[in-house]
């Protein structure tokens, strides 16, 4: 006999459809109830939003209709028909891979979003611009050979250094955000020579410290995803006086809220 708990587990996994429901020996009345519950469950889209810091998602958190702090870095929220979990994973690839991987492996999410700020190598991208990073690279995964950098591919080793997002998400707002390529690093660039070298090697538009790691986790967990960032600074010798972090965060959070509201 199918237990209630088993039914809801299967329903949350989108197991039920008209063909699968007929597999179970329900009476006509019970079957009608099953259809109704499945429809109600399917209307609730479950989204994981991953950020490195609370600062990058605070304006969005303030717009949520419901908050429940589950852990210090994990907040369950709701807005309209969307169930949204916020994960503050910490800065860098290691923290992102561990925390995002743990959540995605243990939960059934319809969509995962990585949001935050980024630097830009492209001066045609205005500070405060919001971009969709669909191609990302682990740009410092490799070895030095004198003045030359070798990727693990060039070293003859196996592994992923390039992540490409082929996810199709039905959302009119998301689909209009400019698509760019980026790199993910452990040490942010701030030296003219190293900036020149990385541009020659990867020709990136943006740089973050988490993006490719997030994409790697989503690809391996089979979860639809997007990496959306606000441009806070240009890649040059470190000059925080020229940064527009507040503008980038505000514009990013406004755009993410528009994306969430665009889901039917």
pLDDT value at residue 29: 55
pLDDT value at residue 222: 96
pLDDT tens digits, 12-64: 444 444 444 444 444 555 544 544 444 444 457 999 999 999 999 999 999 99
CB-count exposure of residue 51 (10 Å: 0-12, 13-18, 19+):
buried
Q: Decide: 229 and 130 in contact? Cβ < 8 Å.
A: yes
Cα 130 to Cα 136: distance, rounded to the nearest angstrom: 16
pLDDT value at residue 20: 43
Least confident range from 26-40, 135-149, 216-230: namely 26-40
Q: Coil, strand, or helix at residue 35?
A: helix
pLDDT tens digits, 235-255: 999 999 999 999 999 999 999
- Which percentage of the chain shows pLDDT scores above 70? 84
Q: Decide: 67 and 75 in contact? Cβ < 8 Å.
A: yes
When comparing pLDDT for 170 and 19, which is higher?
170
Cα 118 to Cα 231: distance, rounded to the nearest angstrom: 5
Cα 107 to Cα 100: distance, rounded to the nearest angstrom: 11
Q: Decide: 143 and 241 in contact? Cβ < 8 Å.
A: no
> If one looks up domain 44-262 in CATH, what number appears?
3.40.50.1580
Q: Where do the domains of the chain lie?
A: 1-43, 44-262
Q: What are phi and psi for residue 80, nearest 5 degrees?
A: 55, -125
Least confident range from 20-24, 166-170, 195-199, 218-222: namely 20-24
For 99, left (φ over 0), alpha (ψ -120 to 50), or beta? alpha
Q: Decide: 214 and 193 in contact? Cβ < 8 Å.
A: no
């Amino acid at each position: 006999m199918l237990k209630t708990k088993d039914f809801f587990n299967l329903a949350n996994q989108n197991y039920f459809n008209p063909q699968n429901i007929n597999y179970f020996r329900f009476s006509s009345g019970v079957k009608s109830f099953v259809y109704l519950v499945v429809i109600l469950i399917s209307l609730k889209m479950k989204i994981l939003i991953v950020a490195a810091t609370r600062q990058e998602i605070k304006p969005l958190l303030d717009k949520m209709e419901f908050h429940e702090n589950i852990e210090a870095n994990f907040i369950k929220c709701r807005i309209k028909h969307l169930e949204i979990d916020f994960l503050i994973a910490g800065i860098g690839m290691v923290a992102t891979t561990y925390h995002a991987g743990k959540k995605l492996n243990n939960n059934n999410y319809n969509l995962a979003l990585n949001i935050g700020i980024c630097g830009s190598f492209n001066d045609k991208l205005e500070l405060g611009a919001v971009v969709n990073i669909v191609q990302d690279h682990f740009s410092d995964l490799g070895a030095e050979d004198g003045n030359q950098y070798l990727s693990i591919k060039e070293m003859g080793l196996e592994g992923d250094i390039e992540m490409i997002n082929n996810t199709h998400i039905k959302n009119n707002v998301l689909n209009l955000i400019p698509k760019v390529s980026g790199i993910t690093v452990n040490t942010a660039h701030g030296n003219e020579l190293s900036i020149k070298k990385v541009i020659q090697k990867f020709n990136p538009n943006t740089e973050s410290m988490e993006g490719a790691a997030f994409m790697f986790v989503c690809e391996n967990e089979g979860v639809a995803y997007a990496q959306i960032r606000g441009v806070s600074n240009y890649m040059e010798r470190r000059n925080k006086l020229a940064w527009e972090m507040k503008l980038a965060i505000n514009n990013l959070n406004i755009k993410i809220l528009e994306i969430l509201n665009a889901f039917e």
